[in-house]
Every structure is written in C-alpha cells, then in structure tokens.
Amino acid sequence: MDSDNRTASADKVIRNHIVWSMGAGLIPVPIADFFAVSAIQLDMVRQMCKLYDVDFKETEGKAVISSMTSSGLARLGARAVIKFIPGIGTVMGGVTVAVLSGASSYALGEVFKKHFETGGTFLDFDTDRLTKMYKEKFEKGKKVAEEIRKDQEVQKDAVEKVAKMEAQNVVEKDVITRLSELGDLKEKGVISEEEFQAMKKKIIEDF
C-alpha cells in the first residue's frame, strides 16, 4: 500500500473511532463510558499498528494511551459528574462527554499516525514530546468532534444507536481477550484456581 492510500486508510480508522468514542460518551453511566472509550482507543491503536506494519504490544499500548490521555480524561471526569443529575443532566453530560471523548480519540489517532508514518514504533515512543502533540491535537479534536455531531444531528438516533453498538462490541472483545489471557495464565500454572476465579469475577464486574 502506498503512503497516500495508507494515510487515507488511517484517517478512516481515526474517524470511525471518533464516532464510536462519541457513542460511548453518551452511555449514561459515568464509569461505563470511561471503560468503553479506553477500549475503543486501544482498538484504534491496534488497527493503526496493523496498517503501518508495527508490532502491536497491548501492555505498552495501554501504558502509552494512559500516559498521553490522562489530561483529556481528567476533563471527561469533570464533565461526567453532570450525568449524575437526573433528566437534563444526563442529556447535557452525555453530549459534552461525547464531544470530549471524540476529541481524545482524534488526538490519540493523529499522534500515532504521525509517529508511525515517520517509522516510529513502541520502542522509540517519546512520551513527553508526543503528549505535547496530543494536547495540541485535542483542541482541534473538539472542533472535529463537534462538526461530526452537527453533521449527523439530522440522523442522530440512528448514529447514536450504531455508535453505541460498535462501542459495546469493542468493549466485549476487550473483555473476552482479558478472560482468555487469564485462562492461559491458569493453564500455565502462573495463577491458582482461586486467583483465576477472583480475577475473572473482577473483570466481569468491571464490565
């Protein structure tokens, strides 16, 4: 795949995950939306790695995402509190968090796209420099997400339904992956049956 087509494909991956992140941001339960957005962003990085032939490392991926998005997620947390207000609070909080969720995914996607296009991998990820870039892209991402929201306002119900379904699918895949990895650890004798059951219960409860 030539560079132009790959960039176009990367932009499509980013846009799709912006929409799914916005759908996750509309989930009325504050903790659930955080979990969903994180899973969606990890899935986006996984797809970007495949596109740029970069070896995907889930542990490193989660660490990098967490490090870079901490400031953006802090904003999400402040806005998510609004969701606890019955009725209008849920609607207003959902819309606000949806835009910020989309902005975070846009910024993250743009950072990884730039890094991978210049031949970067997880091994040479300059967190400080790229976190600065993430913050800059986050501001632009709010405008991008808002434009997407307005463009799709006419078909809002259909878009929200599809986005929520996609967000849920990504979350479910992440849970299945974690349970599978847990089963492997038990089979290899790394953890006991009791530890396996306790950790399995925790994963399911978080979901």
Q: Round to the nearest angstrom and report the end-to-end CA distance of the chain.
A: 37
Gap between the Cα atoms of 82 and 177, Å rounded: 32
Other Cβ atoms less than 10 A from the Cβ of 47: the count is: 20
Q: What is the pLDDT of residue 28?
A: 53
Q: What is the pLDDT of residue 13?
A: 95
Q: What is the pLDDT of residue 59?
A: 84
Task: Compute, in degrees rounded to 10, the torsion defined by CA atoms 180, 39, 110, 145.
Answer: 160
> What confidence tier does 175 reach under pLDDT thresholds 50, 70, 90?
low
Digit-coded pLDDT (tens) for 79-94 = 444 443 444 333 334 4
> What confidence tier does 68 reach under pLDDT thresholds 50, 70, 90?
confident
Digit-coded pLDDT (tens) for 178-188 = 777 777 777 87
Other Cβ atoms less than 10 A from the Cβ of 63: the count is: 14
Answering whether pTM is above 0.85, one says no
